[in-house]
Each structure stands twice: as C-alpha cells, then as structure tokens.
Amino acid sequence: MQGWQMWDRRKEVLALCVCLTLGACSSVGSYHGPVQCAPYARQVSGVNLRGRAASWWWEARGHYQRSHRPQPGSVLVFRASSRIPDGHVSVVRRLRTRRRIEVDHANWVGGRIEHSVPVEDISPRGDWSLVRVWWAPAGSMGRRAYPTYGFILPMR
C-alpha cells in the first residue's frame, strides 16, 4: 500500500470511529430521529401520556396508579439528568428477581427498539429509585446509575 493510500485508510477508520462515538451518545438525549422512547412506551403499554418522558410521572398523577414496585406492563420513568435531559421511559416485560427486571424500550441505543433488556435496581433501599441498564454496544450492564421516579401502572 502506498503512503497516500495508507493515509486515506486512516481517515476512513477515524471517520468510522467518530460515527460510532456519536451513535453511542444517543442514549444521552442527542438522538432525535423517528424512534423515540415515549411514543413507543405509549403504544406498547397503553399508558396514554404525552410530553417529555421525565414528565410522565407527574402527568400520571390522578390518571394512573403509580408504584415503586415493578409489574409486567408498567412503565419505568427515568428522571431527567445530564445524561438523559428529557428522561426516559421503558415498559416492564418480565420480573426476574426482586432487584432485576427486563424491559422493552426505544432509543436507549440511538434509533433502536430493544426487547428483554436487563435493568437492575441499585438503590440503597431497594425502591427502584436508582438503576443500571444493559448497554448492548458493550454487551454488559452499563456502569452509570440512572435515577428514576418509579412505575406507572396501566389501566386494566
């Protein structure tokens, strides 16, 4: 390979790395494409709330029961933070243990819908106020802790 070809190849690799890095930022609120967590959660759960995901907890008051215990079909509401400025919502799919559930959600990994994603309660009181979420690009539980409000229960 000649010198200029090697330089072009390095630029291609660098461009790919930049794209992958930007894609990894999607879960922190920078991805505003066609797949969003709130419309997905509304469609899957039947919880008919609108607005920023973080506002769902307060919007649910008086309309839906809220809880600090997960139930299949309930919506886990993440608080707004520097990592997720609009918050996030996930739909509980399955209870695994007292401190581990599986959720379905959209846009945790930018532009993707994910199913059966592990979420772990790491709150000191076991009240699901602080969680870690599986990070598919790394193939492991995420290292970051995310504060949550709790669970919105759909009407039965």
pLDDT in tens, 56-101: 999 999 999 999 999 999 999 999 999 999 999 999 999 999 999 9
Per-residue DSSP letter, 123: -
């509401």: which residue's tokens? 77
pTM value is: 0.80
- Which three-class secondary structure state does DSSP give residue 58? helix
Q: Is the pLDDT of residue 134 over 90?
A: yes
Spatial contact of 79 and 87, defined as CB atoms under 8 Å apart: yes
